[in-house]
């Protein structure tokens, strides 16, 4: 447990992984404008840390390499079941604003939801998995 928490156990790292996996974010600007209120220096540091840990990779978007898209690695996408369970737990036990019907449907169809997360990752489909939820709903 302690090794896992060293790699991605802070709030910001988990939110970045969630946003890559569920919200389809790819750029620094998208993370910065997500509504979470992360400072740019913290965001840059967390992205570097996640990349150094092999959880994400930065892929140059332009020839000069100044703009990059972030993508989960195989190691990163393997966190899908963990994040999914955190989402379910938070929605079940806390007031998140997430639709009870949506969460219940996702919980009932765990395998299909996780298969869809992997398909989107494999095919580089950045369509958000969940409908746009409030900041509080996503903070699980």
Specify the CATH number for the domain of residue 121.
1.10.10.10
Buried b vs exposed e over 42-68: b needs ≥16 C-beta within 10 Å? ebeebbebbbeeebbeeeeeeeeeeeb
Look up residue 78 and give its two tokens. Answer: 């393997």
Structural domain harbouring 33:
2-138
Q: Which of 81, 93, 92, 85 is nearest to 117 (CA)?
A: 81
Distance of alpha carbon 71 from alpha carbon 85, whole angstroms: 21
**Domains identified in the chain, total number:** 1
pLDDT tens series, the chain, 140 aa:
777 777 767 889 999 999 999 899 999 999 999 888 899 999 999 999 999 999 999 998 877 767 899 999 999 999 999 999 988 888 777 776 666 777 788 889 999 999 999 999 999 998 988 755 444 444 44
């Amino acid at each position: 447990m302690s090794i896992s928490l060293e790699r991605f156990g802070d709030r910001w790292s988990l939110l970045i992984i969630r946003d890559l996996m569920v919200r389809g974010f790819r750029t620094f600007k998208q993370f910065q404008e997500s509504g979470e209120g992360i400072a740019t220096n913290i965001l840059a540091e967390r992205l570097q840390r996640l990349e150094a840990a092999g959880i994400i990779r930065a892929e140059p978007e332009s020839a000069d390499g100044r703009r990059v898209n972030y993508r989960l690695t195989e190691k990163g996408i393997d966190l899908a079941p963990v994040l999914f369970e955190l989402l379910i737990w938070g929605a079940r036990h806390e007031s998140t604003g997430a639709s009870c019907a949506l969460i219940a449907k996702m919980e009932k169809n765990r395998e299909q939801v996780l298969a869809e997360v992997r398909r989107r990752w494999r095919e580089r489909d950045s369509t958000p998995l969940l409908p746009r939820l409030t900041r509080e709903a996503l903070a699980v």
